[in-house]
Amino acid sequence: MIIVGAGLSGLLTAWRCLDVNPDLSIEIIEASDRIAGDHTWSFNLTDVAENLRDWIKPFIAYRWDSYDVKFPKRERTLDIVYCTGNSDTLRACVQPHIESGRLKLRLKTSVETLGPDHVVLKGGEKLRAKCVLDARGFEPNDDVFLGYQKFVGHVIKTKTPHGLKRPIIMDATVEQLGGYRFVYCLPYSETELLVEDTYYTDGPELRSQVVDARIKDYIRDRLGVDHYELVRREKGVLPITLAVDETYGTDVSMEKTEAVRLGMTGGYYHAVTGYSLPEAVKSANVVCDMIAKHKPDFGPAVRHEMAYHRVDHYHEEKFLRLLNRMLFRAAKPERRYAVLERFYGLSEGIVERFYRNRLSKKDKLRILSGKPPVPVTKALYNFSEKAFISRESSKRDSAQ
């Protein structure tokens, strides 16, 4: 098998498939000079299927038994296990397979084209495999309508204990600045801390130096820390899906003509939160199971199953896309936080199932019932995904 792209989804899939299938070998092609990049990935432990939690343990760098959320009219501690892994732990997970020779790397290598069973490198070399997986990352698509989550994070080392005992997943008591904004804090130790400023806006532009200044203000004014060392900095822009054209979302014809899409390439992320680890684990396990059940000629089975896995994901995320339209288009920008403030007043079970994207019909009714945190007329105007796409397409066509 060949995987193009050595980020989270590509490496998790390689790790899972090699762990379970001892006769398998995988080649990873990566355009940069190292695998796994320089990132942090977090998730609720309950986001991962119970039978995979022991397997994912080596990836976890830090784990907490609870976390806090803060809003202008609500503060709450949730007793949900929260975990974080990073590029170092991800590299460590695949390192034994690299050392054994079963996972081969081609770094600083650019791809010209790829298909279901071949890759053509820039320069013309053609590589063949039973199956090719495309994990090169997110690219905009005319059939997918987006908002954006943008963030800058500082990992700092303080001279004295910072005093934070558990993560703050959302501190939305900060100034909103024209969109939903919150600060995210992970205490790695008594003196090491990640502080990340995150905000949801309509466009992808990220003015990272402005955000750097906001983080420094938060560390000083909210955390009361004056003396610290900046250990590392990360930033990113994540897609937040508002709507997906149904024809595109349910198209399975690509299984015979295209490489299997993984991760952000395939749109596998939680539509509201942008969390990608749980979906990457799900996809990795689907690929792994198809290899185990259909080896040695597993290529057609992987392509077929992942085509329908993509359709399942489209349907599963329908309600989450509706919530995003409420957040981005029904709420006033400075009041977007109220949508989440109300949500975090619901039961802990609903919060868990929301992050796992396993909401029941009763859960969905509970989320939508009661006094709405957005104007009713705007909520109804953005309720239909099909009508929303029609309007947005017309706007785009007019602008062109």
**SS3 per-residue string spanning 63-132:** EECCEEEEECCEEEEECCCEEEEEHHHHHHHHHHHHHHCCEEEECCCCEEEECCCEEEECCCCEEECCCE
| pLDDT tens series, the chain, 400 aa | 999 999 999 999 999 999 999 999 999 999 999 999 999 999 999 999 999 999 999 999 999 999 999 999 999 999 999 999 999 999 999 999 999 999 999 999 999 999 999 999 999 999 999 999 999 999 889 999 999 999 999 999 999 999 999 999 999 999 999 889 999 999 999 999 999 999 999 999 999 999 999 999 999 999 999 999 999 999 999 999 999 999 999 999 988 899 999 999 999 999 999 999 999 999 999 999 999 999 999 999 999 999 999 999 999 999 999 999 999 999 998 899 999 999 999 999 999 999 999 999 999 999 999 888 899 999 999 999 999 999 999 998 888 7
Output the pLDDT for position 398.
Answer: 87
Report, in angstroms and rounded to the nearest whole number, the Rg of the chain calculated over CA atoms: 21
Give yes or no for a contact between 341 and 71, defined as CB atoms under 8 angstroms apart.
yes
- Domains of the chain are 2-62+83-140+245-316 (3.50.50.60), 144-242 (3.30.70), 319-399 (no CATH)
Give the distance, in angstroms, between the CA of residue 41 and the centroid of all CA atoms in the same chain: 8
Per DSSP, helices labelled H in 148-226 are 208-221
Output the pLDDT for position 142.
Answer: 94
Q: How many residues does the chain have?
A: 400
